[in-house]
Amino acid sequence: MSAAYSLVPSADKFQSSRVQFEQIVAFLESADALQLQHAAVEEQLTRDGRELLRRLFQDHLNLRSATERELPEVTGSEGARRTESRELGVGLGTVFGGVRSIRLVYQAAGLPGLAPMDAVLNLPPGYYSHGIRKLVAEHAAKDSFEEVVAEVEAITGCVVGKRQVEELAAAAASDFDAFYTQYPAASWSITPTALLVLSFDGKGIVVRTEDLREATRKAAIEGKHKLDKRLAKGEKRNRKRMAEVATVYAVEPFVRDAEDVMREFRPGKDVATRRPRPTAKRVWASVVEDMTDVIDEAFRHARRLDPDQQRPWVVLVDGNKDQIRAVRKVAKKYGVSIVLIVDVVHVLEYLWKAAYCFHADGSQAAQDWVTERLRALLTGSDPSQMAAGMRRSATRQHLPRATRKAVDACARYLINNRRRLNYADALERGFPIATGVVEGACRYLIKDRMDRTGARWSLQGAEAVLRLRALRTSGDLPEYWAFHLDREMQRNHLCLYADQQPPNPLPTRSPSTPKLRRIK
């Protein structure tokens, strides 16, 4: 015979749950159930099992209500005492269904009521439980709001409207900045020899007209389409607001030469290389904050990882002048030394466009032209001399101004970024020279989720989804949610009471004399 001991005072408190359980067993034992296919039994158990869990939760709340003791008074954060109490109920939509908590609310004239039991339960503001809110957060990070509505109802039976999904997602992401501000650097494992890499990029998101930045909103309002059925050349269907994307990660140095890089760009990568993988990677994006603010946060995060700057800091950019100015400004603000490198893939794009001014599109001659100049850049040739050479070639061949436009653009790009194209030194020191990590972040943070056909975002909804996707992508969502619940307790409950200490309304028992009940 086995025995267990419980502090539960009476089995009658869970009578409703026991009735539901017996009904489930009776169904499974019935002759009708024995004739059903497994899918039908599975579906019936899902519905009945959810109802059983809902009743268990409700019976548990009833037990709390029955055991809550009345306190002589409750003192709020303003120092006022509340001596009047009365029972009030509050509804809660949970992952099992709707339940109701009956608790004592303490009141005084002209003051908001306080319910210590709400603090014990850490009830959220509004109807939906933290379980529902977490489910919404997880699904909103990867699916449309309409899909989240259907998914939550299918999983829980609880109906959450589309607008409510957006609001719950925004509330779930509200502690994003605070989480990373306090997140211990020790949580990221970085070897002593690793480089610290920061990279930035921008990606447009279609937002509602009222949420566009001033200049873009004005252009959207004033712009009129020439045709009714389609867009004319140069017209835009939707106006976008730029989101700034940031990545910070550590990676081991990867020393290679120009030929190694050339092979990487060939189809199929004819030589396999064991490239070090990024570690301690954090990616995020913001459509609300300015570019400088996002870059500033990236540098703050990098300083948490490497407070004494004991390793090289490499910053990868695409050549955007405003972005480069912002990076230099923030680096100076924090007094850190950085190695600024322009992404080699962006350079290649300019070279290919220039090549098609001299050679046929897709020809071997165009490929050889690009290969020759890429190899020269990777081995340390002066970008200014290369720019001058391609301009002379365009002049000698008497290319029309419209035709040589791509040549001049490539030359300007090389000259403007000549100090940031020192690829030979970067390869020798094992530094990355491509922005593949942040390009990937632009794709899976923004494009895969935000750039769906017909989607027009509010700022609140877009920022919430970007934050939730960033947490999910960085693998920080479980730790973030625990932090978020602590913050919810602080702002919804603890701050309402004197000394931020709500009184415990549950009866206390002496550890030396527990009331035990033997269960056989």
> What tens-digit pLDDT sequence spans the chain (520 residues)?
333 334 444 557 899 999 999 999 999 999 999 999 999 999 999 999 999 999 999 999 999 999 999 999 999 999 999 999 999 999 999 999 999 999 999 999 999 999 999 999 999 999 999 999 999 999 999 888 999 999 999 999 889 999 999 999 999 999 999 999 887 666 677 888 999 999 999 888 888 777 676 656 566 555 555 555 454 444 455 578 888 999 999 999 999 999 988 887 766 554 455 788 988 889 999 999 999 999 999 999 999 899 888 899 999 999 899 999 999 999 999 999 999 999 999 999 999 999 999 999 889 999 999 999 999 999 999 999 999 999 999 999 999 998 899 999 999 999 999 999 999 999 999 999 998 888 888 888 888 887 877 778 888 999 999 999 999 988 899 999 999 999 999 999 999 999 999 999 988 765 444 555 555 4
> SS3 for 288?
coil
Number of neighbours of residue 392 by Cβ within 10 angstroms: 10
Cβ distance 283 to 474 under 8 Å?
yes
- Which residue is it, tokens 């989607």? 455
User: Which distant-in-sequence residues (6+ apart) come within 8 Å of 416 by Cβ?
Assistant: 319, 321
User: Which distant-in-sequence residues (6+ apart) come within 8 Å of 333 by Cβ?
Assistant: 296, 299
Closest CA to 467 of 246, 199, 238: 246
> SS3 for 400?
coil
**Alpha-carbon distance 118 to 502, whole Å?**
10
CA distances from 497 to 87, 116, 215, 353 (A): 19, 9, 47, 66
- Which residue is it, tokens 């939906």? 128
Closest CA to 306 of 187, 200, 185: 185
Helices (DSSP H) in 94-144: which residue ranges? Answer: 116-121, 130-140
pLDDT at 217: 59
The domain locations on the chain are 4-122+493-519, 344-418
Spell out where 16-162 has E strands. Answer: 74-75, 81-82, 84-94, 97-108, 111-114
Kindly state the tokens that stand for 356.
Answer: 């098609």
User: Which distant-in-sequence residues (6+ apart) come within 8 Å of 479 by Cβ?
Assistant: 179, 183, 187
Percent helix, strand and coil across the chain, each to the nearest 5: 50, 15, 30
pLDDT at 517: 56
Which element (helix H / strand E) includes 326?
helix 321-334
**Alpha-carbon distance 140 to 276, whole Å?**
32
User: Which distant-in-sequence residues (6+ apart) come within 8 Å of 444 by Cβ?
Assistant: 469, 473
**Alpha-carbon distance 253 to 240, whole Å?**
38
pLDDT at 450: 78
Cα–Cα–Cα angle for 402, 403, 405, nearest 5°?
65
Closest CA to 69 of 367, 507, 449: 507
Kindly state the tokens that stand for 212.
Answer: 């566009």
Long-range interactions of 209-217: CB distance < 8 A, separation 24+: 209/239, 211/241, 211/457, 211/458, 211/459, 212/239, 212/241, 213/241, 216/240, 216/241
**Alpha-carbon distance 43 to 98, whole Å?**
20
pLDDT at 354: 95
pLDDT at 516: 52
Cβ distance 230 to 178 under 8 Å?
no
Residue-by-residue DSSP string for 414-428: HHHTGGG--HHHHHH
- Which residue is it, tokens 């037990």? 63
CA distances from 454 to 41, 428, 442 (A): 40, 47, 19
Amino acid identity of residue 309, one-letter, is Q
Cβ distance 282 to 301 under 8 Å?
yes
Strand partners, 244: 202, 286
Amino acid identity of residue 452, one-letter, is R
Number of neighbours of residue 115 by Cβ within 10 angstroms: 23
Predicted model pTM: 0.83
Q: Dihedral of the CA atoms 315, 195, 338, 328 (nearest 10)?
A: 30
Kindly state the tokens that stand for 410.
Answer: 């490539």
**Alpha-carbon distance 158 to 162, whole Å?**
13
Strand-by-strand arrangement of the 195-206 sheet: 279-286, 240-251, 195-206, 313-317, 339-342
CA distances from 61 to 19, 55, 122, 515, 517 (A): 17, 10, 13, 20, 21
pLDDT at 1: 31
**Alpha-carbon distance 429 to 124, whole Å?**
52
Cα–Cα–Cα angle for 466, 468, 472, nearest 5°?
115
Cβ distance 317 to 310 under 8 Å?
no
How many helices (H) and strands (E) are present in the chain, helices listed first? 21, 12
**Alpha-carbon distance 129 to 137, whole Å?**
12
